[in-house]
Structure 1
Amino acid sequence: MTLQLTNPQALSLWLNTVSTLVRGEETHDLTSRQMAILLTVYLTPGPHTVRGLAAELDITKPVVTRALDTLGRLGLLKRRRDMTDKRNVLIDRTPRGSSYLGQLSDIIVTAGFDA
């Protein structure tokens, strides 16, 4: 099933979602890059690496690294050394990250009803 929104409805949905995020105490106000990385790790099959995320999102590795630093501090993602190739660092999901995205999806659904 495809959701059909007009441009004003889509923007209203985004406004309602972002407004809820910026004033919410239980949700983090992530940058667009941080959100893109978080969603990529949770919604696409892994394993995920800095190099792979940079290529997938067409951004630089330092940008990915900085975003991962923040997402790691927030407990939304974690990094671990790839034991088969110690040069690689793998990006893993966390229970806290899963919970955050569950809250986010609830916010989006609610915002859609208000759009």
Structure 2
Amino acid sequence: MPDLAYGGNPELKPVQALSLWHDVVLQSVRNDGPDLSSRQLAIMFTVYLDPPPHTVRGLAAALDVSKPAVTRALDTLGSLDLLKRSRDEADRRNVLVLRTVKGTGFMQEFADLIVRSSRGLVA
């Protein structure tokens, strides 16, 4: 039975991990959707996997990057309607980063792409 079979040893070997990520990246650039940078994807993963609220300041700290770097990434993600920003009514100094319907669909499709790519490793 392969190492990656569900219920078996879930640990990937380094070459398998690289092969999986290569396939995911290759498929994502071949799709009709946006071609996101690693920073933009990291922000998407954080917002869609970690519980809210999300702020520019919090994302910068979580990713260990500058607030301007997060802002630039959010400018692009906002223009693609994958995330949106809104002023926090409780503390007007904070900018909240919110999910969108289109962003949720993008993340679901990305997750499906990862699952499909991983099937090649367990086949």
User: Which bin holds the TM-score, normalised by the shorter protein?
Assistant: over 0.9
Q: 1:96 offset after TM fit, Å?
A: 0.6
Match of 2:104 in 1: 98
Structure number with greater CO (CA < 8 Å, separation at least 6) is: 1
Residue type at the aligned position of 2:25: V
Match of 1:109 in 2: 115
Any gaps of 5 or more consecutive residues in structure 1?
Answer: none
CA contact (8 A) 1:80 1:90 kept: yes
- Secondary structure (helix, strand or coil) at the match of 2:76 reads helix
Q: 1:28 offset after TM fit, Å?
A: 1.6
- Secondary structure (helix, strand or coil) at the match of 2:112 reads helix
Residue type at the aligned position of 1:74: L
Residue type at the aligned position of 1:85: D
Residue type at the aligned position of 1:51: R
- Secondary structure (helix, strand or coil) at the match of 1:91 reads strand
- Would you say how many aligned residue pairs link Structure 1 and Structure 2? 114
**For the pair shown, which has the larger CA radius of gyration, 1 or 2?**
2
The separation in 2 between residues aligned to 1:45 and 1:34, in whole angstroms, is 18
- Secondary structure (helix, strand or coil) at the match of 2:85 reads strand
The 5 Å alignment of 1:46-61 reads 46-61=52-67
Residue type at the aligned position of 1:15: H
The separation in 1 between residues aligned to 2:65 and 2:54, in whole angstroms, is 15
The separation in 1 between residues aligned to 2:31 and 2:52, in whole angstroms, is 30
The separation in 1 between residues aligned to 2:31 and 2:20, in whole angstroms, is 16
Deviations 1:21-75 (A, max 9, x none): 11111x2210000000111011111111111100011000000000000000111
Any gaps of 5 or more consecutive residues in structure 2?
Answer: 1-6
- Secondary structure (helix, strand or coil) at the match of 1:8 reads helix
2:33 is the alignment partner of 1:42 = no
In the superposition, the TM-score normalised over structure 2's length comes to 0.88
In the superposition, the TM-score normalised over structure 1's length comes to 0.94
Match of 1:15 in 2: 22
Query: Cα RMSD (Å) of the superposition?
Result: 1.2
